[in-house]
Amino acid sequence: MDDQYGDASGGDYVSIVSGTGKKSSTIDEIPATIIFMKIIRIFYPAEIRDNEMQSLLDSRLEEIKREGEVNLLTVIENGGKTNHVKNSIQRQFSKSAGPHVHKSAVVGASGMIKVALAGVKMVTGRKIQAFESEEDAMKWLSED
């Protein structure tokens, strides 16, 4: 595959075959239209400061909007703490990025974050799933 598209088997882009609902791995199986869905990864270090989080999410939001539609992989480092400022930053990011995100996977979510994800999923109907490993999350993001 051309380097500009990354590695469709588990790198930055996954191929989603439009119209058939099936993924294709060989050229003979490729129908008329293929969409490459970029996976954007957000890593939250345990000790991220409010201003660092704002800067990180602002840059990711620009990237998401540039791509049009993406899958989102969020990785939370063990021991990460939140506060009302970080919650507000995250809510604003989710609201702005939401229309551009096809699926979201979260790795490293604590009990309370998992409860919040379930609530967002139920209220918005978005495709959001918590995972124990990045490997499982990437596999899910690659499926459609």
Q: What structural domains does the chain harbor? A: 38-142 (3.30.750)
Question: Considering only 30-39, 48-57, 115-124, 135-144, which range has the smallest mean pLDDT?
Answer: 30-39
CA-nearest of 55, 105, 112, 104 to 80 is: 112
Residue range 31-44, pLDDT digits in tens: 444 456 899 999 99
Q: What is the mean pLDDT of residues 126-137?
A: 93
Long-range contacts of 23-28 (CB under 8 A, 24+ apart): 23/142, 23/143, 23/144
